[in-house]
Amino acid sequence: MSFMSSTNVNPDALAVAAAHLENLGASITDANRAAAAVTTQVIPAAEDEISAAIAGVFATCAQDFHGLAAQAAEFHGGFVQALYSSGKSYLAAEASSAAALVGTGGPTAAQVIQLYGNGPIAENAFPYGSLKQLSFTQSVAQGVQILDLQAQQALSVPGNTISIYGYSQSAVVVSLEMANLQAHGVPTSNASFFIVGDPMNPNGGFYERFAGLQMPSLGMNFYGATPSNAYPTKIYTIEYDSVADYPRYPLDIFSDVNASLSTNHFYYHVLTQQQINSAIPLPTSGPTQTQYYMIQSPDLPLASAFRGIPIIGGPIADLLQPDLTYLVNLGYGDPLYGWSTGPANIPTQAGLLPPLSAFQEMPGLLASGTQLGIHNFIGDFTGTGPNPITLPSLSSIISQLEHPQTLLNSLIGHSGANSILNGLLGASSGSGAATGAATGLSGIVSASPATLGPALSATALSTLAAIPVTVGNTITEVANVVSNLASDVYSIGYVTADVLNAALISIPSYDFNLFLDGLLQAFNGEPVQGLIDAIGQPIASDVGLYPWLLNLWVGAITNPSEAAGPQSGIASIGIG
């Protein structure tokens, strides 16, 4: 059971792109059709044979062009249909995963697919992507408004019940909608919720770890915890999900780096039924209508960073992973678990230090982890480890060096190798290298001055005729590059200013409030712990927040012209 590499796909964006391409293709086809008559029936400039021949050449070229244009249009149409189909396929896959998580009594896959097509919120928000899109807070507010309207419409039919599904950003929308339903007087028997990758997860969600933080420059509010006793709810979390399973003690640098490297937040749509069934129920405390489940991660993100190293990456990761796991888990409060083992329904903010008992366990665990890591490292080379490596034989390497064609095939593929060799030796498509070389040389040697002169003249004329078009295309391309560069520079500067605003104003303001909370705790009868928290809590929060802010800035500026935020899913309602 493992998580494979993933590609984040926005089905709505694919549909929009396909529609734009379809319109573009239609415009090009119309233009080609309009130009066909005047380009394929060229009138000779005079009545002599040369003029007629030149007109015939231009007409033939035009016919060839329109033939190629027709083939291109056919390919374009197929590509557009592939985009449409791909978007629907990804939508169906995510909807099936949602329905599997929801389980009995929730929306079916078909219902989720239907509702996904009318999703209320965008999957990304500033500072990820375009400056013109909504901020995160604005996007969430709009999503709550639309989701509430849909819920009320569904519940207006007597006997209807609703099941609401949310993932990531839409999990925030769904969590805030609970209060609206309560305000509308919707009974608990009429609504249920299913949430994955919840940023407002009470004990692990990033928005609860730093509840109360506001970043107006970035349009972000840290909303706190998802209500645990409002309606029947199931919340699934993947271990080490940096959004829904953030470390409780950010002073653990290993935990922070592991969270920064984790991509587990993007795997909920590919969870198998076996992984869902094997999820661990988490303990709760007091009255609650929410069930919490943790899906264990097969690999530690921090150790997985080494696996990309050729050949020895896997053994190095297996050598380090046991001890790194204990060091990372210490940031959650217990070196044996990659999540906070406190009650899952109790809102839990970031703390200063793990309990003393966790530190007392570390020496023995690190010793055993070192032994296990060495055993796995050796086993990977002997074939008995968790990830045995396979080394290429010396004979196969020598064989490839003796046959360049084979080596090129292995590196860039058969067709790519042929293209390179044929291009170097002058071979035509479909002919061998030697044959191509002989053909090219014999063609030049056998050419007579009588045939070579007109050919060179025609080539020169066609080259001269193409110069204005080439220059025009070059100018257009340069203008587009300059325009895009200016837009990117502006976007980067804008985002950088907003991030600096958050770093220099919003986070220090949050730190000051934590300091005041510690002083208030000291005045209320806990002088020692209160003073420790007044000084330590702001430091611990900064250790977690500033690297996160840096990571957000890097992600925003490396994709300044396109949406690059986390996959958010879309809030969906199933009607039963």
In angstroms, rounded to a whole number, what is the distance separating the alpha carbons of residues 435 and 400? 23
Cα distances (Å, whole numbers) of residue 255 to 200, 221, 301, 328: 19, 24, 10, 4
Q: Token pair 């999703």 is at which residue?
A: 119
Find all residues with CB under 8 Å of 433, minimum gap 6, and list them.
421, 422, 425, 427
In angstroms, rounded to a whole number, what is the distance separating the alpha carbons of residues 132 and 488? 13
Neighbouring C-beta atoms of residue 470, cutoff 10 Å: 10
Neighbouring C-beta atoms of residue 495, cutoff 10 Å: 22
| Options 97, 139, 163, 168, the catalytic residue | 168
Both tokens of 456, joined, read 């060179």
CA atoms 463, 465, 469, 475: torsion sign? positive
Half-sphere exposure of 199 (CA within 13 A, CB side): 24
Both tokens of 31, joined, read 């233009």
Hey, is 231 helix, strand or coil? coil
| 415 burial level (CB within 10 Å; 0-12, 13-18, 19+) | exposed
Three-state helix/strand/coil letters over 370-407: HHHHHHHHHHHHHCCCCCCCCCCCHHHHHHHHHCHHHH
Task: Pick the closest to residue 169 from 139, 213, 201, 208 (CA basis).
Answer: 139
Residue ranges of the alpha helices (H) in 120-252? 136-155, 169-183, 206-209
446: annotated active-site residue:
no
Hey, is 54 helix, strand or coil? helix
Indicate the residue type of 401.
L
Q: State the DSSP H helix or E strand holding residue 574, giving kind and residue range, or none if neither.
A: strand 572-575
Find all residues with CB under 8 Å of 329, minimum gap 6, and list them.
255, 335, 336, 337, 338
Cα distances (Å, whole numbers) of residue 147 to 142, 174, 186, 202, 234: 9, 8, 15, 22, 19
Residues with active-site annotation: 168
